[in-house]
Chain A
């Protein structure tokens, strides 16, 4: 995406602030040292010029950022949150879990080209920036994170407004309203979806089909790699139990994770007994259990954003595994995490007539 597209987006935001449609914008910005990007809530519209709606990395998941602003209630400020589709989806999932108050927030998503692995960028920001710019120019995502490379939801519209860049004319973007709120924004700014979205839709569809194929192939391979308990344990053997993945995850919102609580800490005699039964007890035990447990708790809400893998100090393929499992668990309920705000969470919904195949297994 050309630099000018970013300017177009920022112009739109500044105009909206001028007209009082938004009082503030939540958008990524380069840090003072220039070696990373973080979310900033901007009230002074002049500062929007220094923002970057699609930086080369996703250091903080947008859903988490929105939640930190509005978990405890709606503010008086009308905020436009500018994020990627997976971040909007995470925000929707968080809303369903009472962690986001959406009232004064307008969720704006943009067609996402993917991001670089976080560590690759921070270890050498200059090189990272160059790599990212090249990738954008050539529409080449082979340097992006593994989960970004097989993402088929990079243009999914789940918020109030979507900025379409694919198939757009030079320096211009498609502004697509997806909700009443989004429509009002466009109306107030006297902008309309002039002309058809056909070229955007076509490009998006092509990309989606392509990615779905890639995803299916990649997952076939991955299944072989992690299938079976032995393979699963091996996959996570390097894990240091730091739980960074859980804390970076936008939909892991518990204040005290079950797997950090006293419940998983046993008495000395228990550890000794286990060590004696096995001959060797890896310490701390239950490394793989943490990952399976986390999956059990959040897989149905996983938006495949990849924040977990970025945060892992030993480069475990956490996001790749969790994203693949999420496809399966969400598929069970015909659910796609965060695709809209109305669909109730499968984990909180009781249906008497459901999952009979599970019952039959025990007959």
Chain B
């Protein structure tokens, strides 16, 4: 049985009070969360140290301006952890961060993570003119019911990993019909439980409702099959690839916002990837024309092969694509097929090594034959 904190207050209010208590009592020195950052109501991530500022925090707001895994990596990579910080992140952001930790791009020193069963986020474009705001109440309704809201990111609709696997604390959100009147948070680890102890909070024995979560997962799986079938049709051979990636302008925005792409200088931006005139001219011997700048499809496939094993399907890439290529769904589709081969779910298990750096003598015998 898991230990849980149950309070008779709305989840939103209860969570904010919990965060405020932690800061006020100096149990943590900072809270990392989404927050309203200006008078226009724009939402962005912030590191909050003043408990009064927490009134503007929006912990599980359905927007993801950046994948927070990137931020946690940046925050923890350099220097030493002297003060404890609590980070409020979504499941795929946490998984992304775990994948980065496996690659020495961050650590969990004095960092406590709190997440929630996730109902998905709206595409960033909807936040530009605050279009998403008119969908908010229906969104929270569908979260309570465990249904898929039609306006969220396609990869969110297809996401089966909505449970945060490694979080120290999990807020019961998705499929929780009582969330308006009751806050329920599961304390999964000792790190999490220490916070409760410090606040002198009593925890009760409670397990999450597996049945409800399984039912939700079934819905997500069905949606995933549908969307995968669609993308599979488009990815039909080289022609399919050329069609779908044809309008790629090589801006590499997808790479920059991806939590897994951590290379300081991407191979596809390095001098080794540049074309010199001799290259062009030798290519021309075979073709009559060439897309310029060259190598956009090569870059996409290359990135897929480099990070596919760890793709957490957060959907950031697709949201920043200037020409609306459905990158996220493609990477989820291909990424998952690679991950299935190794029975690997990125970010699920902190101790599981990345398959690409693990050598198993007995493996893929079918390919040998």
A interface, CB within 8 angstroms of B: 24, 26, 29, 31-33, 35-36, 38-44, 46-47, 59-60, 64-65, 68-77, 118-119, 122-123, 233-234, 237-238, 240-244, 247-248, 255-256, 260-262, 265-272, 275-276, 279-284, 310-315
Contact = CB atoms under 8 A, between A and B. Distances in A.
A233 B71 CA distance: 20
20 contacts: A29-B289, A35-B247, A38-B246, A39-B291, A44-B288, A46-B288, A59-B323, A65-B293, A73-B276, A237-B37, A240-B65, A240-B320, A261-B264, A265-B78, A268-B78, A269-B80, A279-B49, A281-B48, A283-B44, A314-B125
Closest 8 A/B residue pairs (Cβ)? A267-B79, A44-B288, A75-B277, A279-B50, A36-B247, A31-B246, A68-B293, A268-B79
B293 A275 contact: no
Given A39-B291, A283-B45, A240 B66 contact: yes
A248 B71 CA distance: 24
Task: Pick from A44, A268, A312, A315 the residue with the most CB of B within 10 Å.
Answer: A268
Given A74-B277, A244-B251, A255-B269, A283 B293 contact: no
B49 A70 contact: no
B49 A275 contact: yes
A141 B66 CA distance: 35
Nearest to B57: A280
B292 interface: yes
B265 A256 contact: yes
Contacts of A44: 288-289
A32 B296 CA distance: 14
B322 interface: yes
B324 interface: yes
Contact of B257 (A35, A240, A310): A240
B38 A280 contact: no
Interface string B109-130: 0000000000000001101100
B57 to A, nearest CB: 9
Interface residues of B, number: 76
A242 B284 contact: no
Nearest to B70: A284
Contact of A256 (B44, B264, B292, B319): B264
B253 interface: yes
B77 interface: yes
Contacts of B75: 268, 271, 283
B38 A234 contact: yes
Given A69-B280, A255-B271, A272-B29, 19 more contacts: A36-B246, A38-B246, A38-B247, A59-B247, A68-B274, A70-B277, A72-B276, A75-B281, A240-B66, A240-B124, A240-B320, A261-B264, A275-B30, A279-B52, A279-B53, A280-B48, A284-B66, A311-B249, A315-B128
Contact of B44 (A36, A43, A60, A282): A282
A118 B44 CA distance: 26
Contacts of A68: 274-275, 292-294
Contact of A276 (B35, B49, B274, B322): B49
A265 B292 contact: no
B324 A38 contact: no
B74 interface: yes
Task: Pick from B243, B269, B274, B320 the residue with the most CB of A within 10 Å.
Answer: B320
Nearest to B52: A279
Contacts of B250: 60
A33 B290 contact: no
B83 interface: yes
Contacts of B339: none
Interface in B320-354: 320-324
A335 B281 CA distance: 37
B29 to A, nearest CB: 7
Nearest to B110: A268
B38 to A, nearest CB: 5
B141 interface: no
B76 interface: yes
B131 to A, nearest CB: 12
B50 A265 contact: no
Contacts of A311: 249, 251, 253, 322
A267 B247 contact: no
Nearest to A44: B288
B49 A280 contact: yes
Contacts of A42: 288-289
Nearest to A61: B249
Task: Pick from B29, B239, B252, B323 the residue with the most CB of A within 10 Å.
Answer: B323
Nearest to B284: A43
B214 interface: no
A40 to B, nearest CB: 5
B78 A267 contact: yes
A272 B83 contact: yes
Contacts of A312: 322
Given A76-B277, A268-B79, A41 B293 contact: no
B69 to A, nearest CB: 12
Contacts of A75: 277-278, 280-281
Contact of B324 (A122, A238, A244): A122
B260 to A, nearest CB: 16
Contacts of A65: 292-293
A118 B250 CA distance: 15
Contact of B47 (A29, A36, A275, A315): A275
B288 A43 contact: yes
Contacts of A283: 32, 44-47, 71, 75
Interface in B254-291: 256-257, 264-265, 269-271, 274-278, 280-281, 284, 287-291
B77 A265 contact: yes
A284 B324 contact: no
Given A269-B80, A272-B30, A284-B74, A40 B292 contact: yes
B249 A40 contact: no
B244 interface: yes
B133 interface: no
Task: Pick from B48, B56, B249, B265 the residue with the most CB of A within 10 Å.
Answer: B249
A315 B126 CA distance: 11
A75 B128 CA distance: 44
Contacts of B79: 266-270
A272 B124 contact: no
Contacts of A237: 37-38, 40, 42, 44
B253 A242 contact: yes
Contacts of A31: 246-247
A114 to B, nearest CB: 18
